Amino acid sequence: MIFTKNTKYKTKPSTNSLSELAQGKFAIIESLDLRYFPINIVYDLLDYGLIPGTQIKILHKIKGQKKLTVAVGSAEIALRDETADHILVRAC
């Protein structure tokens, strides 16, 4: 909880892994788990536009293949669920 000057309480926006969001939802990337990704993969994800602060949309979830596609700007990017598990986002 966050205490504000007007003595009301607000809940802090929660974060989820990218793989937890439903198809069609929008989110803001909060962080990449640097403990999970090798540095070259971090650079690849950043090059794809998966940068903290960027808004994305979940386009498709392919359960049988454990993959999802996201829109980042005008680009569509496919990710494995195991990769998306380590990208933290805040739904918007």
- pLDDT score at 44: 93
Residue 7 in this model has a pLDDT that exceeds 50: no
More confident residue, 15 or 80: 80
Q: What is the pLDDT of residues 18-58, one digit of tens each?
A: 999 999 999 999 999 888 889 999 999 999 999 999 999 99
Q: What is the pLDDT of residue 14?
A: 84
pLDDT bucket at 12, cuts 50 / 70 / 90: low
Output the pTM of the full model. Answer: 0.80
Burial class (CB in 10 A: 0-12, 13-18, 19+), 87: buried
How much is the mean pLDDT over the chain? Answer: 86
Span 11-91: which CATH code? Answer: 2.30.30.90
Sorted by where each begins, the domain ranges of the chain are: 11-91
